Structure 1
Amino acid sequence: MSNDKPTLEPPIGVLGGTFDPIHHGHLRLALETAEQLHLDEVRMIPNGQPPHRDAPAASAEQRAHWVNLATAPEPRLTMDSRELRRAGRSYTVDTLADMRAEWPNRPLCLIMGRDVFADLPSWHHWRELFELAHIALIDRGSSRPALAAEAAAELDIRYSDDPAILASRPAGAIIPIEPPTLAISASRIRALLAAGASPRYLLPDTVLEELMTTNVYSQPATTERS
């Protein structure tokens, strides 16, 4: 019997979010990460029922449609609707387990900001994340929130600044990335639309056209969610 390890296939990035709506900040982050870490693709995953925030203002169908529109011109970005198809809370560990079952020999790379990583020990079965995926940590020198003690310990153990580690194992490392800062937020886009102002150039024109047609953010209450 051979003890050789299976050959790893090209790595996949994983970027989750409400995408309420998707904008250029999301898209540039995904593309820059794909280029910095030599990812085969980045799966853009709209949250179904996010456990750490209020429900999105737009419906699951609307948000998935917008992500499809926004990613259509770039072959390395793909809309992935698995969380929208799954009932109940959208726990990242369940999403990664589902992806790992689908791609047993592909490194998965979960993209998250340092502010999110700082609070990682509050996540559902958070330690299992490292068994399922690497973490691409957005690490901008100007914004470094203090980490929870357990998160800091994992960063010390797992940190690697060499993207080549993705070719050696399917999960377990924390790799820094430094994408450019784009001061764009979905809450700002919603506020502009609610006020009758234009958010043009903050998000793809194809998505903006859909927002203007459907008037999904015309009510001021929808601007309160970040």
Structure 2
Amino acid sequence: MKTGIFGGTFDPIHIGHIISVLEVKLKFGLDRVIFIPARQSPHKTLKPSDDDDRVEMLRKATAGYEGIGLDTVELQREGRSFTYDTAVYLKEKYPEDELYFLMGTDQYESFESWYRHEDLLEMMKFIVMMRHSDDVDIANPFIRADQLVVEISSTLVRARIGQGLPYRHFLDASVYEYIKENALYETQSST
């Protein structure tokens, strides 16, 4: 079985995440893709929103998509979460699966700074999802994924909410309703 892994803070998850994952799943014939929300990215200093809120938004946004799942293993760890630790966990959980880690060009460009990055290359394959604005050469063994990508970021969504600007079109309707009902991100600025 071919299993894709898509990690991030998903703060909040938006339609760009969903479209990118579904397109990669189709293009590379992945049987499933597992979203793995991080407690704290090793490469970010801003602490994400409440874990329960992010998980609930992920559940809502991915509901109804065949072959899309969620694993909260990284939220169960203390401190920063490393992809290597998650890869070890996934190799044990899915010993027969071929694992594919889905990443953006920003992650690709910083990959050599990742904890045990050389070991990671032995454990799974890496698909780099290219944005139209990306001007990056992707080297072997990384796999380049030119695809339909919606240029949205969680930072943009949070900024729009904090500034009282329209943002509904960036989100699944159920995620939008959850954010409104729980007054998430309303006091945040563009950080």
Conserved in 1, the CA contact under 8 Å of 2:131 and 2:151? Answer: no
Percentage of pairs with the same residue = 30
Match of 1:116 in 2: 107
Structure-2-length-normalised TM-score: 0.93
Quote the offset at 1:141 in angstroms: 6.7
Matched, 1:34 2:31: no
TM-score by length of 1: 0.79
Contact 1:193 1:217 in 2 (8 A): yes
SS of 1:110's equivalent in the other structure is strand
Tell me how far 1:140 sits from its aligned partner. Answer: 5.1
Aligned position for 1:21: 12
Q: Please list every run of 5 or more consecutive structure 1 residues that lacks an aligned counterpart in the other structure.
A: 1-9, 147-151, 159-173
2:170 is aligned with 1:202: yes
- Give secondary structure in 2 for the equivalent of 1:39: coil
Inter-partner Cα distance in structure 2 for 1:216 and 1:184: 18
Of 158, 164, 180, the residue aligned with 1:212 is 180
Matched, 1:181 2:172: no
Corresponding letter in the other structure for 2:159: A
Deviation per CA, 1:49-82, whole angstroms, max 9, x where unpaired? Answer: 1110024441111101100000002022112111
User: Structure 2 regions of 5+ residues with no counterpart?
Assistant: none
What one-letter code is carried by the residue in structure 1 that aligns with 2:182? T
1:171 maps to which residue? none
Name whichever structure is richer in strand by fraction: 2
Please tell me the root mean square deviation across aligned C-alpha atoms, in Å.
1.6
Match of 1:44?
35
Comparing 121-130 with 136-145, which one deviates more in the overlay?
Answer: 136-145
Q: Distance in 2 between matches of 1:57 and 1:120?
A: 22
Residues paired across the two proteins, number: 191
Give 1:24's aligned amino acid.
I
For 1:123, give the aligned amino acid. Answer: W
Structure label with greater radius of gyration: 1
